[in-house]
Each structure stands twice: as C-alpha cells, then as structure tokens.
Amino acid sequence: MLFGRKKKNPIKLHDKGVQQWRYATCGYCSVGCSIELGLNAEGQAVTTRGVGGADVNRGKLCIKGLAEAAVFNASGRGTDPMMRSRIFDEFETTDWDYALDHTANEFRRIQQKYGRDAVAVVSTGQIMTEEFYTLGKLVRGLIGTNNYDGNTTLCMASAVSGYKRSFGSDGPPGCYDDFEHTNCLMAFGSNLPEQHPIIYWRLKEALEKRKFPVIVVDPRVTMFAQFADIHLPITPGTDLVLLNSMAHVIINENLHDLNYIQQSCNGFEALEKLVQQYDPTSASKICGIDEDMIRTVARLYAKADSAMSIWTMGINQSTHGTDGVCAINNLNLITGNIGKPGGTSLSITGQCNAMGTREWSSCSGLPGYRLLENPEHREEIGKFWGVDPDFFPKKAGLKETDIFPAIETGQIKALWIVATNPMTSMPNSARIRKSFEQLEFCVVQDTYADCECNQYAHVYLPGAVWAEKEGCFTNTERRVNLTRASQPAYANSKPDGWIFNQLAKRFDNYENMHFPESAEAVFEEMKQLSKGIGPNGKARILDISGMSYEKIEKSRGIQWPCRDNDESTDDKQPSPTGNRVQGTARLYTDGVFQFPDGKAKLLAMPYVENNEVPDEKFPFWLNSGRVVEHFHTRTKTGKIGNCNKFSPTAYMEMNPDAADQLGVKHMSYVRLVSRRGDAVVLVQLTHRVPINMVFIPFHFHDCVNRLSLGLLDPYSRQPAFKQGAVRIEHIDQQEAAKLNVSMRTF
Ligand code: SF4
C-alpha cells in the first residue's frame, strides 16, 4: 500500500503519426528559430519541433512556433484568384491567366494615363528573400514605378535610417552570442519576453551562467521590466533626452573611450558641445527619470568591460525614432562598444524576413544595399538585369506612410499589396479606409482571402504560405536560414515567387531579362550580386557568396558576410551547439565603418518636443505593443486556436487608481476617444501602466489604429504609434459587447 503522495499518471502525448521531419525556419518573428515540420504518412504537416542543433534556438520554440503546423489549413485561406465584377461589385472566382492579364493591363492603362509612378506597390517582411529579390526586379526593371515600399516602414525603418546615418550602412552589427559576453545590457522600448521569446531565453541562459546588470527603459512595467535589475519608466518619446544626458555624464566624467573615438569616429567635438545642454538635472525634468539614476546608469554602462544596447519599437515608432537609434549608436561608439564580444548596438527586428526585404527587395534602392542615387550602382544592376540604367529613377520614391496620402491627393491611382494588411496596421484607419475607396485599381496578394484589405481589392491573388514554398529568411543577427518546401500550395494558391515571374512575362522588356524558375537559382543569382567592393574600399559587407542551400541547412543558418574565399567559412571553431561556425558573427570588429573614410559618425542631435501629449481634453498617453500569442494583424494567429484562445479580444490595460477616479470597473467596456477616432475595449486593471497611460495590444482590427497618431519620423517616415493622447468615456455595456464581438470577427 502506498502512503503519502499519490502516484500520478505520466503525461501522455498524443501520437501524431509523424513519418518524417522537414527543415524550415519559423515564419513568424525575426528571432529566426530553426524548426522541423512533422509530416504524417499522407505527407500532411501535423506538428512542429525546435531543432536541437540550431545555434539560434537550441531546440526551443515559443507558442507561435509550436502551433505553426496549423497555418496551412487555417480558416480564411484563399483558394483561387478572384476578380470584382464591374456590374454587381461582387468578387468572383477566375483563373490565374485572366487575373494576371487583367492586373498587367490595368497597371499599364493607369501608367499610360497618369504616369509611371501612379501605380504603387507595398510589400511585406513575410515572404522569402528570393521572392523579394524577384519582386524588386519586376518593379524596378519592368513595371518601373518608384512608389514601392515594404511594411517594414511601420516597424524597422528608423533602425535602418539610424544605422545608415551612424555607420554608413544598414546591418545590425551584433549577435545573440553577445549576451554570453556582455557585462551590461541596456534595453530600450523592447519587451523581449513577449516580442522575441527565444532571444529572451538566450539572455536568461547567459544570466544563469554569469550575472550582469540588465537595465530596461520603458514607460510601462513590461514583463521584461519586471525582470530587470533597473527599470527606467521614461516619459514616452523622450529617449533622445535620456541618451544625450547619459553621454553628458560619460564625457564629463571622462569615462569615454578616447582612443576608439579618435581612430574610428568623426563628430566628437560637436557631440561633446551639444550634450553639455543635457545635464541630468535638466534632462530628468523632460524624460522623467531621476537625475541620480541617469548618472548611475551612465556610469554602469561606461565602466563595464563590454556593454550592449538592444531596442525595438519603443525607439523606432516615434517622431524621434531615427535620432533615438543614432543616440544609441553614439552611446556605443563613445564607449568603444561596437564589434566586440558583448559590446554592440543591436536592433531586434520584427518580422521573420524584415531583414530580407531590407537587403534584397530594392524597396529603398537597388538590391544588396545599392543606391538609386549612385550612377555606378544603377549601371551595374542595369547591366546585370538587362535593363537600361536610365529606366531606374535617380532617387528612392515614396514610403508606405506617404503612399496613402498620395492616394488621397490623386497622385497614386493603383495599389498592389503583397502579404501585408494596412487596413489594420496603419495608423489612423479612418483615413486609410478613405484612401482605399479612392483607388481606381487595387490588387491584394495574400495567403488569406479574409484579410481586411481584400474588401477593397479589384483582384485577389492567393499566395502560398511558409513551407508551401522554398527559400531563405534573414534574422536579427544577419543569419540566413532556409525553409524547405514540404507542403503543396493550398488549393489553387501559388508561391509568391511564381506569381511575380508570371506577371513579369506580361511586361515589355521581359525578353531581355532573366527570371529564374527555382528559388535556389534565384539565390545563386543573388550570390553573384553580393560580391564586390563596398563604399569604404573594402569587401562588401552584405556578401553571401560563400553560402549555398546545402551549407545553410547543414549549419542551421549562416551569418553574413560569408564570402566564397573567406576563412570565416572554415569549420575550425566549433559553435556552442556543435554546428560549423560559418559566416561572421559581428560587423565592424576592425573599427572600420561603411563611410568612404571608414569612420563612424557621432551625431549631435537636439531634442525637439513635437509629440502629441496628454492634456485636459485627452488626459491619457496611448501606448501599444505586441502580446506573445499573436503576430501582427492576426491574419494567421487569429485563426489558430492554441494562439488565439489566450487573447481573443481587444483589451486595454489601465491603472486601478485612474480607474477608481473615473469609476471604471475591471472587465467592463469603455470607449476610448482620440483626435482621430474612437474604439471600444475591455478594461484590464493593472499597475503595469502608470496612472496617466493606457496600453492596447496592436493586433486587433478596428481598435488601436482608429486612435493612433500618424505623425512621421523625418528620416525613416515611420509613424509615432506610441505617442498619442486619448480620453476614456463610459459606454452602455450591452452595446459595447456587441461592438467588441464584431471587432473580433474577420
Ligand atoms: Fe518563431 Fe519567433 Fe517564436 Fe522563434 S521566437 S518560434 S522565430 S515566433
């Protein structure tokens, strides 16, 4: 007879009958986890697992990766191309030839009538790098519009602009392995556990081996802030003030690395002069951080043998986003913390292939970080593609956030949307809706036919998703990783690369160009373009010529640059997981940057107050961000039970003291009102937000972006999603419940 604790039955996992595992890279966020899809005897994807030998995730996956096998048969998938009938305004199924002919004809008609740039293209961070490259070739080389952008303008554009202004090129200089070496971590506007769970796990693992201070700057007491050693609850939009003040302390207390600055940087004198205005006593009155805390943090950072900065949307989504990024880079440069183990400024990117679009889509120029403004680059790409270089514009066109206002003014008449959902993701949705209504022609290419933009489409093209096709993503640490096609495309949907190739055939000059059929052949073409000499006279940094699909899969991802004759491609150094170390873990290890003289720029940037701040009429800050179960506009996670069930409805975090003052109850509905519109949300009372702030997850349609502010950063054109003002109004609970249910429905 057993006494004491009862014997428990062990947990039994349902046998899903997996017969084989196929290699892939997670198709959600930019962490870039290696993942295997389990296929049953019929070849259907039934489960996923993390890849134990992968350097990035070492066998782990977050909730989204674990449930990812469900994306293939989720509800709402588009089965066939559709066209809107002119007479009855109804969407009708059609065939691919007819849909693509009509699309090409409409683009041509509109370009002949209104000019080449009257057609705009907005793409994504979700498709494969080879598909981005092909889309860029089609748009720049055949369609010829200059109004072409990706939705990465909504999340990472300020990081890109900041890297270019400070270092002369895009490309995050650090890697996840820096957590293993750093002696101080400072995170700005990044809720790592919810946004990038596996990077957070890498950090936790490093901290278990060796303690170092973790400082989190965020107006909200996020999950990451709760875990930090020091939390700085900054006033929204004032990061530049805090960073200038830290530079003030570091320089005035002689804690800067003068040798590094003299060898590798320009602009120190101007920076030193400017930051004199940002003494901690004055700065604390603007940024809301105690002056002694500013001094403490500045000293901790500067005195550490190595220190690293990470950031995400809290910095980028601001009218000062690019300045904030440059100020982080300043901090790292003056302390000599770039390109050394544990010393870096690492922007944590957003979508699974946000980096791929930055590198190869030609959105902001020409492929491989080439510039439209540079005649040699136009000549080189024109010759390589078989396009007259004069066909290319001489400077980049409108960003996504300028394309919609240009539709309003009639400058743009046609819009092609590829795998993105601006009806939910853009600020000020009422204005975006009006823009859609004004279009003469709209094409929506998406995996899901029920994405909100499709209401306005004249043509819908169903795209295949994730492991229904083959190709690469690049993650936050410049690691190129592979997804093998392991599922057939759903119904009559097609891989995006196939759609681009077929559309290309319908334009003049196609005969003079070459559009390879397979993703691997496209990758081989990109490898050739990646070689060469960079602006500083040294080898280009975005060099992938030493990679191949086989090597990438074997190594579970390779970090660029990886040159075909580079000794960094050898296998002498074992990685922590035993994989061959290939490619380059860190950029700028030699202190040589991408400007012609090889020196980085220290930038002196005064803070200009231009936020919408709370006032008597709108007394609360409106903050927004991601929750772990969902990804972006829920086109995928909203349909996957094991993700959606944890966060099925739009809600708002509110401070209990503020709620008490207004008579608002936990789990009641309220109406939020801003200068742009209103939204109904369920109240969750929590001390995570201060008394003058509310927080809403950004994933839900017809919710936070009915309220958010569309002011833009002047360099990146990224919107200030996180600095708006709202008021709270009571609403009839029955009426609100009906409204809230309708917001949940696609
Ligand atoms: Fe996918 Fe990102 Fe989760 Fe990794 S952390 S499993 S890449 S969603």
36, 62, 643, best to mutate for ligand 1 pocket (most atoms within 8 Å of CB): 62
In the reported structure, the alpha carbon of residue 198 is separated from the centroid of ligand 1 by a whole-number distance in angstroms of 7
25, 31, 56, best to mutate for ligand 1 pocket (most atoms within 8 Å of CB): 31
In the reported structure, the alpha carbon of residue 528 is separated from the centroid of ligand 1 by a whole-number distance in angstroms of 31
**CA 148 – CA 131 distance, rounded (Å):** 15
* Ligand 1 atom closest to Cα of residue 35: 6
In the reported structure, the alpha carbon of residue 550 is separated from the centroid of ligand 1 by a whole-number distance in angstroms of 23
> Residues enclosing ligand 1, CB less than 6 A?
26, 28-29, 31-33, 57, 61-62, 64-65, 196-198
Q: How many CB atoms lie within 10 A of CB 6?
A: 7
26, 474, 699, best to mutate for ligand 1 pocket (most atoms within 8 Å of CB): 26
pLDDT at 572: 45
**CA 627 – CA 700 distance, rounded (Å):** 11
In the reported structure, the alpha carbon of residue 184 is separated from the centroid of ligand 1 by a whole-number distance in angstroms of 25
* Ligand 1 atom closest to Cα of residue 196: 5
Q: How many CB atoms lie within 10 A of CB 730?
A: 13
In the reported structure, the alpha carbon of residue 284 is separated from the centroid of ligand 1 by a whole-number distance in angstroms of 37
In the reported structure, the alpha carbon of residue 61 is separated from the centroid of ligand 1 by a whole-number distance in angstroms of 6
In the reported structure, the alpha carbon of residue 433 is separated from the centroid of ligand 1 by a whole-number distance in angstroms of 32
- Pairing between β-strand 669-673 and β-strand 724-730 as defined by DSSP bridges: antiparallel
Q: How many CB atoms lie within 10 A of CB 230?
A: 15
* Ligand 1 atom closest to Cα of residue 29: 2
In the reported structure, the alpha carbon of residue 33 is separated from the centroid of ligand 1 by a whole-number distance in angstroms of 6
In the reported structure, the alpha carbon of residue 28 is separated from the centroid of ligand 1 by a whole-number distance in angstroms of 6
In the reported structure, the alpha carbon of residue 561 is separated from the centroid of ligand 1 by a whole-number distance in angstroms of 24
In the reported structure, the alpha carbon of residue 480 is separated from the centroid of ligand 1 by a whole-number distance in angstroms of 15
* Ligand 1 atom closest to Cα of residue 475: 7
* Ligand 1 atom closest to Cα of residue 631: 8
In the reported structure, the alpha carbon of residue 358 is separated from the centroid of ligand 1 by a whole-number distance in angstroms of 20
pLDDT at 6: 65
- Pairing between β-strand 45-50 and β-strand 82-84 as defined by DSSP bridges: unpaired
In the reported structure, the alpha carbon of residue 252 is separated from the centroid of ligand 1 by a whole-number distance in angstroms of 42
pLDDT at 246: 98
Adjacent-strand bridge partners of 265: 600
* Ligand 1 atom closest to Cα of residue 61: 6
215 near 185, Cβ under 8 Å? yes
Specify the residue with its C-alpha closest to ligand 1, atom 3. 62
- Identity of the amino acid at 82: M
37, 198, 643, best to mutate for ligand 1 pocket (most atoms within 8 Å of CB): 198
Q: How many CB atoms lie within 10 A of CB 617?
A: 9
pLDDT at 2: 52
- Identity of the amino acid at 419: A
440 near 458, Cβ under 8 Å? no
621 near 725, Cβ under 8 Å? yes
Percentage helix, strand, coil, to 5, in the chain? 35, 20, 45
* Ligand 1 atom closest to Cα of residue 50: 6
* Ligand 1 atom closest to Cα of residue 63: 3
pLDDT at 5: 64
37, 61, 699, best to mutate for ligand 1 pocket (most atoms within 8 Å of CB): 61
Q: Cβ neighbours of residue 214 under 8 Å, at least 6 residues apart?
A: 185, 187, 203, 207, 227, 228, 229, 230
Q: List per-block mean pLDDT (blocks of 10 residues) for the chain, which spans 746 residues.
A: 64 86 96 97 95 94 93 94 84 96 98 98 96 98 96 91 97 96 97 94 96 97 96 96 98 98 98 98 97 98 98 92 97 97 95 94 95 96 97 95 96 97 90 94 96 94 97 97 97 98 96 96 97 91 95 94 70 58 89 97 95 94 89 85 84 96 95 93 95 92 87 93 93 82 44
CA-nearest of 412, 411, 419 to 444 is 419
Instruction: Give the residue carrying structure tokens 């004004």.
Output: 438
Sheet holding 459-462, edge to edge: 91-93, 82-84, 459-462, 441-446, 414-418, 119-123, 148-150
Specify the residue with its C-alpha closest to ligand 1, atom 4. 33
420 near 123, Cβ under 8 Å? yes
In the reported structure, the alpha carbon of residue 30 is separated from the centroid of ligand 1 by a whole-number distance in angstroms of 7
**CA 218 – CA 598 distance, rounded (Å):** 34
* Ligand 1 atom closest to Cα of residue 66: 6
In the reported structure, the alpha carbon of residue 196 is separated from the centroid of ligand 1 by a whole-number distance in angstroms of 7
Instruction: Give the residue carrying structure tokens 């795998």.
Output: 419
25, 28, 66, 481, best to mutate for ligand 1 pocket (most atoms within 8 Å of CB): 28
* Ligand 1 atom closest to Cα of residue 199: 5
**Residue 678 burial by Cβ neighbours in a 10 Å radius (0-12, 13-18, 19+):** middle
In the reported structure, the alpha carbon of residue 151 is separated from the centroid of ligand 1 by a whole-number distance in angstroms of 19
* Ligand 1 atom closest to Cα of residue 56: 4
**CA 81 – CA 93 distance, rounded (Å):** 6
In the reported structure, the alpha carbon of residue 560 is separated from the centroid of ligand 1 by a whole-number distance in angstroms of 21
In the reported structure, the alpha carbon of residue 57 is separated from the centroid of ligand 1 by a whole-number distance in angstroms of 9
**CA 338 – CA 318 distance, rounded (Å):** 24
pLDDT at 576: 62
* Ligand 1 atom closest to Cα of residue 25: 7
* Ligand 1 atom closest to Cα of residue 57: 4
pLDDT at 579: 61
**CA 122 – CA 139 distance, rounded (Å):** 11
In the reported structure, the alpha carbon of residue 643 is separated from the centroid of ligand 1 by a whole-number distance in angstroms of 13
33, 36, 60, best to mutate for ligand 1 pocket (most atoms within 8 Å of CB): 33
* Ligand 1 atom closest to Cα of residue 32: 7
Domains of the chain in start order, with CATH, are: 20-71 (2.20.25.90), 82-150+355-530 (3.40.50.740), 157-348 (3.40.228.10), 620-744 (2.40.40.20)
- Pairing between β-strand 185-188 and β-strand 308-311 as defined by DSSP bridges: parallel
SS3 49: strand
pLDDT at 736: 85
